Amino acid sequence: MISVEEKLLVNVLYKPESEILNGIEINVINFDNLIKLASRHLMLPALFFNINKKNLSYLFPKDFVEYIKNIYSINKARNTVLLKEAKELSELLYKNNINHIFLKGTALLLSNVFEDIGERMIGDIDFIIQHKDEQKVKKVLEINNDNGLNNNNFFKLLKPTHLQRQVYKTIATEPHLELLEPRNRWFFNSKKLINNFKVETKTIKTPNKSFLFDHCIYALQIADKGFIKSYHFHRSIYDIYKLDCKNSLTVKNINKDIFIKYFFITIDKFKIFDIHIKTTLLSSYFDKLFRFLVILHSRFFSFKIPNKIIQLFFEKELRKHALNKISNHYYNKTLLNYIYRWLKA
């Protein structure tokens, strides 16, 4: 069930001015709920941008427009600083011979995907590096920031998705080693970026639009569990809309990838894209089976427990703490006795 507030949000973001009020009675809109909805989807700046661009302010209360205009202005000022710091950071990394490619919202801004840099809300500066440069990046960020990186790496056998978030000047950075968590890397291969790493030009690098399109959907469907929970996020939808990958948006191409397919099936109710995906009984059965397996994989094959076991091998303090805890309880308990002797060995 789509609320009338969400219908209005969708129309303002994606429809031409002539269709804004299609199926909507403006006098029944709860504008407080609209603000809460747009805020939850991180779309307040984009909402103001589109209201202003399409000359729709007459539809909204003045205090509503002033409020979201203020959010938009703050976000635009922050993104101006973010872009400046991203470019400075890129120069610093190249100066230290660290090849890198910007990702996510930062890449979208640097690629001029949006008409206005104030449209998109961004948490931090994401970029991916090669594994061989991990220690160099840590050193560079330590030298250029008072906070320093935490060198405790709990993934001794499995590389983490990214290093610890670190503030560079005023904006947080997130240096990625991979695109997804270890248990999900078989879905989406970061090796697609290898050719970009091989190019030695010292210029700001972002993935091509096709890669940004895929990564945006996979980040929502896999990392944020959109595929499992069947939920939508308007910031991701808006990113895809702004990427304007018309050549990729064919039913034939979409059906090749179940995560992309379910992204469009989930948002079909909004009629944003002119795509109608028909499913047969057999394909629907296999899709549901795959989704069930992904849910099982997510819930029962988490790396949290194996990671703790790995830590026990490599972290002396953690092992000592575990020994002290178990030593008080292992008498007459076979399993704890076994674990205690295993740890001590």
**pLDDT of the residue at 143:** 46
Encoded amino acid at 19, one letter: E
pLDDT of 5 reads 96
In this prediction, residue 318 carries a pLDDT of: 56
Contacts of 110 (CB under 8 A, 6+ apart): 83, 86, 102, 204, 206
pLDDT, tens digit, for every residue of 245-265? 766 676 666 766 788 888 998
Reference 163, options 130, 118, 203, 200; nearest CA is: 130
- Structural contact between residues 213 and 240, judged by C-beta atoms closer than 8 angstroms: yes
Task: Describe the strand order of the beta sheet including 166-168 as a list of residue ranges.
Answer: 100-102, 125-129, 171-176, 166-168
Nearest to 76 by CA among 100, 52, 96: 52
Cα–Cα distance for residue pair 194/101, rounded to 1 Å: 10
pLDDT in tens, the chain (345 residues): 899 999 999 999 999 999 999 889 999 999 999 999 999 999 999 999 999 999 999 999 999 999 999 999 999 999 999 999 999 999 999 999 999 999 999 999 999 999 999 999 999 999 999 888 988 998 888 745 444 444 444 444 456 676 777 888 899 999 988 887 766 666 666 666 666 676 767 789 998 888 898 889 888 988 788 887 888 999 999 999 999 876 667 666 676 678 888 899 889 999 998 877 777 676 666 666 766 666 665 655 554 444 455 455 555 555 566 666 656 555 555 555 555 565 555
Q: Helix or strand or coil: residue 160?
A: coil
Instruction: Say how many C-beta atoms besides its own lie within 10 A of residue 194's C-beta.
Output: 10
DSSP label of 154: S
Q: Which bin fits 108, alpha (ψ -120 to 50), beta or left (φ > 0)?
A: alpha
Over the range 90-119, which residues count as b (16 or more CB within 10 Å of their CB) and which as e?
Answer: beebbeeebbbbbbbbbbbbbbebbebbbb
CA-wise closest residue to 129 among 98, 90, 107, 95 = 98
Radius of gyration of the chain (CA): 24
**Tens digit of each residue's pLDDT (9 = 90 or more) over 51-76:** 999 999 999 999 999 999 999 999 99
pLDDT in tens, 74-86: 999 999 999 999 9
CB count, 10 Å around CB of 128? 25
Q: Which of 138, 106, 140 is nearest to 125 (CA)?
A: 106
Strand-pair partners of 171:
168
91 Cα distance to chain centroid? 25
What pLDDT is recorded for position 253? 67
Cα–Cα–Cα angle for 48, 43, 116, rounded to 5 degrees? 55
Distance CA 334, CA 331 (A): 8
Q: Are 128 and 176 in contact (CB under 8 A)?
A: yes
Q: Where are the alpha helices (DSSP H) in the chain?
A: 4-14, 31-40, 44-53, 62-95, 104-110, 134-143, 194-198, 209-218, 226-229, 234-243, 251-254, 258-266, 281-300, 304-314, 316-327, 334-344
Instruction: Look at residue 100 in the predicted model and tell me its pLDDT.
Output: 93
